[in-house]
Structure 1
């Protein structure tokens, strides 16, 4: 399997900005297509007071800063030019869970924004799905209910389009209170049962547990996702969580190992967070170019790239 999808993160919440304009983004989409990427997922349309597109809803309800360029329009243009599917990432209040809004207020803001987005961009041919940006790693009833209600709302507007989530593993590389595989399975069996009908694709992040433990989590995730009638993808992170600073491009050997483990687990598709920062030859990280070159070497040896 090759990586055939990537997140787009231009609301740079916890990684540095590439500060790209249309020309740089156009070149990056061209490079993505050249290595077989056919799906791009905007990780979020807004976080806190920052947004990627003008929005009356976010201006009134989230007091966003002025938006000078519509990046959604740009990404849709480039996705259409390169025959890619584009998933729209919803708004993230960044309060995890909200400390300023009640559940009803949080959900209503999300629904109002989704309505606005669908009216403005829903006709575009590249608009192929929704990404529900709230992340969780274990049972958190507030966030699960947010996901369920927002996913159901997207289905009401566009029943023909899939909804996607990318949860994390509540593991020791991320948190101080990691949960066991058994507890993970118990939580996610319950969570996916709640989300059935509102979520179609689940792409677990793969960077929060030790490499020795990852295959067991990957297999368990695929079994749980399939059990609940959803598609199992794997978010093969291309940044490194094992070094003492955040976040450099991943060592190629680690990426290769994780890709193999994901393929052996039986997932349907590999995506990454995130090509433009951590794998692109044009990234602000110099090491990303080297990771790109090693990945291309791998594809050539496999006969997947000229």
Structure 2
């Protein structure tokens, strides 16, 4: 058996997905399930967002101000569980939800440089730590964000020379409607972006949920070809939540998940990851539909 999905994001600092209110043993149980189903890579979606943070960060207290209390050190928990279950952990950066969105790219960069230094001081000895994830998502060319990626990536490589991952999204019709960009505009923009990121970012994992299903194969193939042209490893972020219903966000229909996996495999991406196993695909999820989705997915991959 070769599982289709071998990586997942871990979403615990969020603004649009409800918390499952898990204790340490609940997370342990879910990591065990991930291991059983073939997941070998876990990616912290972000280590902090606005005034929420996954560990008691002195850097953010000084630079951001008053933060919400941290009752469980999730970074330590996730690193410990990743080591227990033989997984590689990617550390997701801090998203201010403010500076970079308002054009102050330098402040966003400087906060993250200090924040990631703090992470290395506190957690750098964990053997499971094997990658950086820059949590700031873009959908087309943005000169300010190019500077953030360039400056931050170089700093991260000096702190620990491990792969750097980004997971951009497509400015597609599902989210942007009439303001979506065309397929050709997408190609032009990302050719320019990858030319800037060559040798700086190692892995790109496009989110796959913002375009029509009929158009997805073309985007997957084009993204893969473009990224490899500039020497980037290509993963696909197979969204396991559904964007096609009127509320945010339920587990996706099994048929859609299978279709997206099959199309990503046909495009010859290097790895399939998902956003996000614990909420939308786990038998331990608080969503009943996630438990059913897991059963359908498990039956499919074990019969292949």
Q: Same fold (TM over 0.5)?
A: yes
Partner SS state of residue 19, structure 1: coil
Partner SS state of residue 101, structure 2: coil
CA distance in 1, matches of 2:186, 2:250: 28
CA distance in 2, matches of 1:55, 1:262: 38
Q: 2:95 maps to what in 1?
A: 92
Contact conserved, 1:249 with 1:288, CA < 8 A, in 2?
yes
* Of 228, 237, 260, the match for 1:226: 228
Q: 1:300 maps to what in 2?
A: 302
Alignment of 1:1-306 (within 5 A): 2-63=4-65, 64-95=67-98, 97-99=100-102, 102-159=104-161, 161-176=162-177, 177-302=179-304
C-alpha deviations, 1:274-304, integer Å up to 9, x for none? 00000011112110000000001102211xx
How far did 1:96 drift?
7.3
Matched residue pairs, number?
300
CA distance in 1, matches of 2:104, 2:274: 32
Superposed CA RMSD in Å reads 1.1
- Runs ≥4 in structure 1, deviation > 6 angstroms? none
CA distance in 2, matches of 1:126, 1:109: 24
Contact conserved, 1:46 with 1:90, CA < 8 A, in 2?
yes
How far did 1:98 drift?
3.2
How far did 1:142 drift?
1.6
CA distance in 2, matches of 1:98, 1:149: 17
Contact conserved, 2:198 with 2:231, CA < 8 A, in 1?
yes
CA distance in 1, matches of 2:288, 2:234: 32
How far did 1:92 drift?
0.5
Gaps of at least 5 residues in structure 1 are: none
How far did 1:164 drift?
0.2
Gaps of at least 5 residues in structure 2 are: none
CA distance in 2, matches of 1:246, 1:171: 17
CA distance in 2, matches of 1:279, 1:15: 14
How far did 1:95 drift?
2.8
